[in-house]
Amino acid sequence: RFPLLVLKPRITTRFFVLYLIMFFVYAISSSIRKYIYVGLTSNLDERIHRHNSGYEKTTKPYTPFDLIYVKQFETRIEARQHEKYLKSTSGKRILYSLL
């Protein structure tokens, strides 16, 4: 299991630069209702902005959101396993205890 690597060409040279992509599992809580959303992303700032701006169909009725949990992973597989755990009953109990 290796982290996802992306090769991007640099404009000024003929070499490729290697970027390591990190994955984030996050939980956001609605400020107006009792609702917690758990997700996975490689760009946390943009993803939170999309949720709060109403671009995401599943979370649009519950905006605005507060970020209550973030954990970083090197591989998408590890991140997905943790996301699944947080979406389970025992994982949700942990998240509700953070409120």
Tens-digit pLDDT profile for residues 73-97: 988 999 999 999 999 999 999 999 9
From start to end of the chain, where are the E strands?
5-9, 16-20, 23-30, 36-41, 65-73
- Do 40 and 60 meet the contact criterion of CB atoms below 8 Å apart? no
Residue located via tokens 């991140």: 79
Answering whether pTM is above 0.75, one says yes
Q: Which residues pair with 6 in a beta bridge?
A: 19
**37-62: pLDDT as tens digits:** 999 999 999 999 999 998 999 999 99
Outline where 6-88 has alpha helix (H). 44-53, 76-87
Count Cβ atoms within 10 A of the Cβ of residue 27 and give its class: 0-12 exposed, 13-18 middle, 19 or more buried.
buried
Q: Per the structure block, which two tokens stand in for 44?
A: 């946390």
